Amino acid sequence: VREGLALASLQLPQRIATGARLWELDLQGERLHFQRASGAGPDVGWISTALKDKVLARRISDAELEAERVAAAAVASPGEAAAVKDARAFEEEAAGESMVFPDLAPPGIAELSEEDLQAQRSHAQAAAEALEDGAFSDALERLSAAVALGCASALLYSRRAEVLLRLGRPRAAVRDCTAALAVNPDSARALKTRGRARAALRHWAEAHADLQEGLRIDYDEATYDESVAVAARMKD
């Protein structure tokens, strides 16, 4: 797994596990820009879909997904069958989330000019005011404008992730939190928000791990209660 499109870009320490499910963000020839949906591996990155004659990643058809659901329901107990039906309804709802994510900060900007820094602060302040009024779409627009100026902080990404989550876009929220943690790996706010976003996607194990790490850095009772609830769902 590479950080960028080029094969010479930074290699990430983790590999995508066999059987992992990925969301396609972009496809350039045989290079896939992905966000991990389930299974072990990096949250985002680039992989090759084929190596010589060997297929490394392929699209899953709707028919295959339906066959998996039918097979799971066929061997399930009545309670499990209800859970499968409930999960299917959730997946159909989550599939409605736009996979066009807000842009991350442009690369290659080492430092903002005083003018751009002031503009970034102005956008962030306007976003805060929009949030007070419950205008989440306006807040997202302002935070995205702040990010687009470059040198986005972990706090800025985390704030936008929180707004995305409020707008029902957990996958985009996960992506922003991951970007925040690339800037500051010890951002408790990013970890807690990513945990909540992953819980919204029913990725219970990953959600619990994020919430626990966030609590380790900055403990609070509300997040602890959320972590307990997520842990219980892991046992279902």
**What is the three-class DSSP state of 28?**
strand
Pick from 227, 159, 155: nearest CA to 198: 227
pLDDT score of 99: 58
Q: Specify the CATH superfamily of domain 114-234.
A: Tetratricopeptide repeat domain (1.25.40.10)
Rounded to a whole number of angstroms, the distance between the first and last alpha carbons of the chain is 32
| pLDDT digits 0-9 by tens, 188-226 | 999 999 999 999 999 999 999 999 999 999 999 999 999
130 phi, psi to nearest 5 deg: -65, -40
| pLDDT digits 0-9 by tens, 52-81 | 888 888 887 767 766 766 665 665 555 544
| pLDDT digits 0-9 by tens, 69-112 | 666 566 555 554 454 444 444 444 444 555 578 999 999 999 99
* All structural domains of the chain with their residue ranges: 1-59, 62-94, 114-234
